Amino acid sequence: MAGTTRIWFLRWFTTQLVNPVARLSVGRLPGVGILTHVGRTSGRRYRTPLFVLRRGDDYVFALTFGSHAHWVKNILAAGGCEVRVRGRDVRLVDPEVFVDPARQLMPFPFRLAGRAVLVTEFLRMRAA
């Protein structure tokens, strides 16, 4: 399936077991944040912990489960979201999915990990 990665099969495990534990602290740690977004059909608010890379006013997220993940679709439909990074909330707008097979924006360790699981898609948003 296009837009998926080698770890697509881990979605349930991650969302049901890893994310609830990670949400307890990741909003304060460097390199990770908690995205708050609204379900496009349910209207429910979701909080998703993710690795985040800041480039000026842009925030870049590696789509480790690909662009077909529900949280990505929710953000694209809404035109933005909020992210909690290093203890502060930032409104993000203008979401754009892009493909970068070389993972050029990622630091070297992330590039290696991204190559191992076939991550080539990224989501970029700018701070409002």
Domain chopping of the chain, boundaries: 1-19+26-95
Q: How far, in Å, CA of 30 to CA of 86, rounded?
A: 6
- Assess if CATH 2.30.110.10 describes domain 1-19+26-95: yes
Q: Which residue has the tokens 């929710």?
A: 74
Region of 53 on the Ramachandran plot (φ > 0 left; ψ -120 to 50 alpha; else beta): beta
Per-residue confidence (pLDDT) for residue 82, from 0 to 100: 97
Count, residues in the chain: 128
Confidence class for position 20, pLDDT limits 50, 70, 90: low
Q: Residue 86: pLDDT band by 50, 70, 90 thresholds?
A: confident
Residue 99 pairs in a beta bridge with 121
**Is the Cα dihedral 104, 106, 107, 108 positive or negative?**
negative
Residue type at position 68: H
> What is the widest separation between alpha-carbon atoms in the chain?
38
Amino acid of residue 81: C
Of 11, 9, 10, 2, nearest to 70 (Cα)?
11
118/35: higher pLDDT: 35
Can you give the pTM of this predicted structure? 0.76
Q: Is the pLDDT of residue 116 over 50?
A: yes
User: 53: which strand partners?
Assistant: 60
Residue 9 pLDDT: 56
